[in-house]
Chain A
Amino acid sequence: MPPALLRLAAALAALVALALVSKSASAQYIRQEGKHEHYSVELEPHFVFGWNDPPGVGSGDGLGVGLRATFEIAKYGFIKKLNDSVGIGVGTDLVFYDGSGHGPRGTCVQSTTVRGGIPVCIRAEDSGDDDTTYLWIPIVMQWNFWLHKRWSVFGEPGLAVRLDDLEDFGLSPVIFFAGGRFHLSYNATLTLRLSVPYAPFGPYASFGGSFMF
């Protein structure tokens, strides 16, 4: 199994373990609608890891930092008699991708010949060094499930605006994150997030803390 898949599998396993922890207590907690602490905004600084090519022109593994702000817009979520809630999350991630060495290579779109019949390309598109820096701006709906007073998980469908290599705008119209929190206190957590924005368009994970106000 490729290392990237192993890392993904390990991270998913951690999430599943996180979700299953303290099953009986969770069963009680998750059924108490609105049981969790209300908050106006959750601020989450984090580190970002990408282990494959991002969408657009970049390539290679990524490493960066980011901040997510999630505003709780509904303490009571979509499902009655369930301790779920909904927020709107907006963030920014600055990620450096190291390039695969097989990135934007350019295409010759017009050529001519010189003496000896040797072709000379006189116009090319999409060329360049493949080290890139991306600015991601994810905009998501965060659907939370408060499993336990110490644990919560969430899914985040949405989209992401990108500034590829800090130069060209791009759009990832469909992204999805799944994540979980370990609550250190009523307003401080450790948060792990995995994404599918980025897969099939390129995988991504973030790990950081969050503070709820």
Chain B
Amino acid sequence: MRLARLLVAFALVGLVALPACDDDDFCRPGTPCDCSGGDECYLNCEGTGCNESCHDLNRCGGICGDVCSFNCHNMDECSTYCGDACNASCHDTVACGIICGADCDYRCNNASRCGATVGPGSTVTCRGLSSCEVTCTGSCTVDCEGVGRCQVWCGATDDTPTDCTNGTSCGC
């Protein structure tokens, strides 16, 4: 009887605790979110004003909203996916890629390949690359220097890219 009473009491207390869902997104606007070392890392930050970075790993991706910054370096593959007015850079990397909204500023330095799809009013700066290939979905400026092949497409359906290889600043 005593044992039964104890077990019932314990079970009742235990019912207080019920499992809940887990949502583990930790990068938040206004708080630097950094990742380094290891194999890969994909950072996700929702909202405006995120600050993400990653370095010294094999693959990394930064996803953020408007007015965010993302910096990555020293890796094989780095990708950026951000909203409007984002500020991103990628250097000392094999491949850099970005898709961003309007008015974004992307710098790609000292890498093998750089590919970008940027929104209206954006600026892409490429330095010291084998190739820099940019698709602009509106007006844009592309500045290439020390790039083996620099090409700009004005729109996703543009079949005739503008060649910006010779250190000229061009765009759409």
Interface residues of chain A, those whose CB is within 8 Å of chain B, are 56-57, 73-74, 76, 78, 86, 88, 90, 101-102, 104-108, 111-130, 132, 137, 139, 141, 158-161, 164-165, 167-171, 173
B63 interface residue (CB < 8 Å to A): yes
Residues of B contacting A116 with CB < 8 Å?
95, 97, 113-115, 131, 133
Q: Which one of A86, A105, A125, A158 lies within 8 Å of B25 (CB-CB)?
A: A125
Interface residues of chain B, those whose CB is within 8 Å of chain A, are 2-3, 5-6, 9-10, 13-14, 16-27, 31-38, 40-45, 61, 63, 77, 79-81, 95-99, 113-117, 131, 133-135, 151, 153
Q: Would B79 and A120 count as touching, CB distance under 8 A?
A: yes
Q: Which one of A73, A107, A168 lies within 8 Å of B6 (CB-CB)?
A: A73
Q: Which one of A90, A114, A171 lies within 8 Å of B117 (CB-CB)?
A: A114
Q: Would B43 and A128 count as touching, CB distance under 8 A?
A: yes
Q: Would A141 and B42 count as touching, CB distance under 8 A?
A: no
Q: Would B79 and A57 count as touching, CB distance under 8 A?
A: no
A124 CA to B61 CA, complexed, in Å:
8
Evaluate whether A159 and B63 lie within 8 angstroms (CB atoms) in the complex, with A104-B24, A114-B115 already known.
no
A119 CA to B76 CA, complexed, in Å:
12
Offer 15 A-B interface pairs, CB within 8 angstroms, sorted by A. Answer: A57-B24, A74-B5, A102-B38, A105-B35, A114-B99, A116-B97, A116-B131, A118-B77, A120-B81, A125-B25, A127-B26, A127-B33, A137-B17, A139-B16, A169-B22
Evaluate whether A128 and B24 lie within 8 angstroms (CB atoms) in the complex, with A116-B114, A118-B97 already known.
yes
A112 CA to B31 CA, complexed, in Å:
27
- With A115-B116, A118-B95 already in contact, 4 other A-B pairs whose C-beta atoms are closer than 8 Å: A118-B96, A127-B33, A127-B35, A128-B25
Q: Which one of A118, A127, A165, A169 lies within 8 Å of B43 (CB-CB)?
A: A127
What's the minimum C-beta distance from A51 to chain B, rounded to whole angstroms?
21
Q: Which 9 A-B pairs have the closest CB atoms?
A: A128-B26, A169-B20, A121-B61, A118-B97, A115-B133, A124-B42, A106-B42, A116-B115, A118-B115
Q: Would A88 and B10 count as touching, CB distance under 8 A?
A: yes
Q: Would A101 and B37 count as touching, CB distance under 8 A?
A: yes
A165 CA to B102 CA, complexed, in Å:
34
Residues of A contacting B45 with CB < 8 Å?
127
